Amino acid sequence: MKDKPPLAILPLARPTFDVVYAEEMLAGMLVALDRTGRRIVGPRKLLFDADATRTAISDLGAEHPGQILILQVTFTDAAMTAEIARAFAGPLAIWAVPEPRLGGRLRLNALCGLNLAAHTLGLAGRAFGALYADPAAATADASLEALLAGQNDA
């Protein structure tokens, strides 16, 4: 029996934000993803620039993923999201993480990154799912399953 195609992940971030906190959030996202029981492929580290992201996109092509999940760990512009959408025709989803409101500078600003990515994908006519959730939240697993099942399409 043939295995289901893997779920490909691409963790996008920028080093101008709180990298230590971003790595903590990514670790939580990876734990939640591993709990789904799906075969996960792709980098398990933050992709900080276009070169690293393009290399990951190229590497994932050989895996023939059934679904692409962009992990919007910090704000990024939508250039790499647009490239990812062009590179893979299959289902696409974005998971961004919230951060506590502590006053002062935002540590991740992932919501703004999700918003910009959604706008870019919408202009391109590309369907996608979206989730804005803390991986440690009690509802995270159910929300993630709904996203991966295509129930959070934007």
* Alpha-carbon distance values, 138 to 44, 64, 143 (Å): 23, 32, 10
Is residue 33 included in any domain, yes or no?
yes
d(CA 14, CA 9): 16
Look at residue 2 and tell me if it is in a domain.
no
Please state the pTM of the whole predicted model.
0.95
CB-CB contact of 93 with 131 (8 Å)? yes
- Please tell me the predicted confidence (pLDDT) of residue 1: 35
Q: Can you spell out the DSSP letters for 64-131?
A: --SEEEEEE-S---SHHHHHHHHH--S-EEEEE------SSS-S--HHHHHHHHHHHHHHTT---EEE
Number of domains forming the structure of the chain: 1
- pLDDT for 107-122, tens place per residue? 999 999 999 999 999 9
Q: Which residues pair with 131 in a beta bridge?
A: 95
pLDDT tens, per residue, the chain with 154 residues:
357 899 999 999 999 999 999 999 999 999 999 999 999 999 999 999 999 999 999 999 999 999 999 999 999 999 999 999 999 999 999 999 999 877 778 999 999 999 999 999 999 999 999 999 999 999 999 999 999 999 877 6
Task: List the domain range (segments joined by +) for residue 138.
Answer: 7-148
Within-domain flag for 154: no
Residue 1 belongs to a domain: no
Does residue 130 sit within a domain? yes
Question: Residue 77: which of 41, 115, 36, 25 has the closest Cα?
Answer: 115
CATH code for position 100: 3.40.50.10940
Asked if residue 124 belongs to a domain, the reply is: yes
